[in-house]
Amino acid sequence: MEPQPAFTYRRARSGGLLAGLSMVLVVETAALDIWLAKHHPYLAWAILASSLATLAWLVADYRAMGRHAILVGPEQLEIRIGRRFSTTVPRDRIASVIAPTWREIPTATRDYLNATKPVTPNVLLTFREPISVRLPGGLSKRIRRLGLRVDEPERFLETLA
């Protein structure tokens, strides 16, 4: 059995964005905790715990985006984007796969998800019928179009053609 082609999306992650969000989170939490500590210590501890959990999730997502890949099997796609998104799609449910121009990328529609946000997708998958995707926090969403930023878009498109 041949190994499944794997397509990474390491370039979709942003170390600068992670650093910026982390700095804002630390400074804001420290200021808020100092302000709340005297009169509402339990609330200050709850905010500190929440901020630490958020920071841990951001770092874990960044690391996962560097390790995971999209696996293209003969019958299905296994898509797992960091800790943000995961789904398995039968290949026969894929209607089209294109390298979109800026005009073809949906902006604000209910049936579209840019899984590698905040970067602009370089691959757009359209499905024959809506698929269910798993989001953080146990949430799910049904989508008909999926935007991805893969490191080798040409090879990805050839593999799915």
Residue pLDDT tens, the chain, 161 long: 556 788 888 888 888 889 999 999 999 999 988 888 888 989 989 999 999 999 999 999 899 888 888 889 888 999 988 888 889 999 999 999 989 888 888 887 888 988 888 888 999 999 999 999 998 888 889 999 999 999 889 999 888 88
**3-state DSSP of 94-126:** EEEEECCCCCCCCCCCCCEEECCCCCCCCEEEE
Rounded distance, CA 152 to CA 89, Å? Answer: 20
Residue with tokens 């190994």: 3
Peptide bond into 3 cis (omega under 30): no
- Indicate if 63 and 105 belong to the same structural domain: no
Give the pTM. 0.79
Are residues 17 and 76 both part of a single domain? no
Residues 117 and 130 in one domain: yes
Kindly state whether residue 74 falls inside one of the protein's structural domains: yes
49 and 84 fall within a common domain? no
Residues in CB range of 73: below 8 A, 6 or more apart: 4, 91
What letter does residue 150 receive in the DSSP assignment? Answer: -
Residues 85 and 51 in one domain: no
Q: Which domain holds residue 120?
A: 70-160
Is the domain of 29 the same as that of 56?
A: yes
For the chain, the domain total comes to 2
**Does 4 reside within a domain?**
no
- Statement to judge: residues 109 and 131 lie in one domain: yes
